[in-house]
A and B are shown apart, each in its own frame.
Chain A
């Protein structure tokens, strides 16, 4: 009982780390395992709505390395098999991102047999 929260919390942070690592290195392959195959992705890229994880993965690969990314986990809200994580990522750079941009993310995760998977990502780009 006592350890269940810690186990879940730490597993969720590990999943988020895959997303962060992929973002930093500009390699979608690093973050793909963190996502459920049916995961959704929403947000505005400029004034255009961006949807679908394919958009995300393509963007990450085209953007390339963003070595100065700094991420902070703002909240981890766990409800048994589901969780919501809010992430702040500052210091974005790269081919598409521009310099020193900040992004706020809301993730929903599902506890699967093979670990916590991101089932939804919504983002806000601080232009």
Chain B
């Protein structure tokens, strides 16, 4: 994949590390961890909580894992940034994350990828980055400092852009509930920053999102946000 040279590298010199390891797979937790510059513990956790695409080879006794670099890159790219020159369709045409073993897990991972697109836009302060994650008819409802926001999801895109970059946001998936073709995601987002204090002094947000599958792709159909004295959350 030419992602490393295509200007869609998400984290500094992310793609450059390829030079030292010419093979296309990472053959252990150690290698995966080194590739992502995190501890083995952390990348194992990411597999469970954020859908890091790790594969396994079946042996008699040993637990051997491996990962495809292109999948790790795709995951990392969507996790940290939604490249403007990569539409959601192109993203989904990338080699899929082991759609194999279990249909439920595949849907779970597809949803986290959609949500990471939203997160990327929020982090970059660019409403257009997150647009591919939303259905065109998606709506938003919620209170912001006592002001009610209601209507088209365009409000979200505008607000995100006006707010500007919020590089320190720390999102966590509180819930990903899937019922066949529909899903609800409860995302907790901490550490909003940038211009946020002008409107919502130092508050975090809470945002539950409803997702629906449309011709095999997951789009956020509804975003509800509230800010309270505790934290911001979203659905």
Chain A residues within 8 Å of B, Cβ to Cβ:
1-3, 5-6, 9-10, 13-14, 16-17, 20-21, 24-25, 64-65, 67-78, 88, 90-91, 93, 100, 102
Determine whether the beta carbon of B101 is less than 8 Å from that of A90: yes
Chain A hits for B170, CB < 8 A:
6
Partner of A70, one of B49, B105, B177, B231: B105
Q: Which residues from 18 to 65 on chain B have a C-beta closer than 8 Å to any C-beta of chain A?
A: 41, 44-45, 47-49, 51, 56-59, 61-64
Q: Contacts A90-B101, A100-B101 known; A75 to B176 CB distance under 8 Å?
A: yes
User: Given the interface contacts A1-B230, A25-B63, A75-B175, does A68 sit within 8 Å of B108 by beta carbon?
Assistant: no
Interface residues on B, range: 35 or more
Chain B residues in 8 Å Cβ range of A67? 56-59, 62-64
Q: What would 20 more interface pairs be, CB under 8 Å, given A17-B44, A20-B48, A88-B104?
A: A2-B231, A9-B172, A9-B174, A14-B45, A16-B48, A20-B44, A25-B63, A67-B56, A67-B64, A69-B56, A71-B47, A72-B48, A72-B51, A74-B177, A75-B177, A90-B104, A90-B105, A91-B56, A100-B101, A102-B104
Residue B188, interface by CB 8 Å: yes
Q: How far is the CA of A75 from the CA of B231 in the complex (A)?
A: 18
CB contact between A72 and one of B63, B105, B190, B191 (< 8 Å): that residue:
B105
Is the beta-carbon distance between B174 and A76 smaller than 8 angstroms? yes
Asked if A76 and B62 make an inter-chain contact with CB atoms under 8 angstroms apart, the answer reads no
Number of A-B contacts (CB under 8 A): 98
Contact residues in B for A2 (Cβ distance below 8 Å): 190-191, 202, 204, 231
Instruction: Check B93 for interface membership: any CB of A closer than 8 A.
Output: no
Which residues of A lie under 8 Å from residue B188 when comparing CB positions?
5, 9
Which residues on the B side are within 8 Å of A72 (C-beta)?
48, 51, 104-105, 108-109, 176
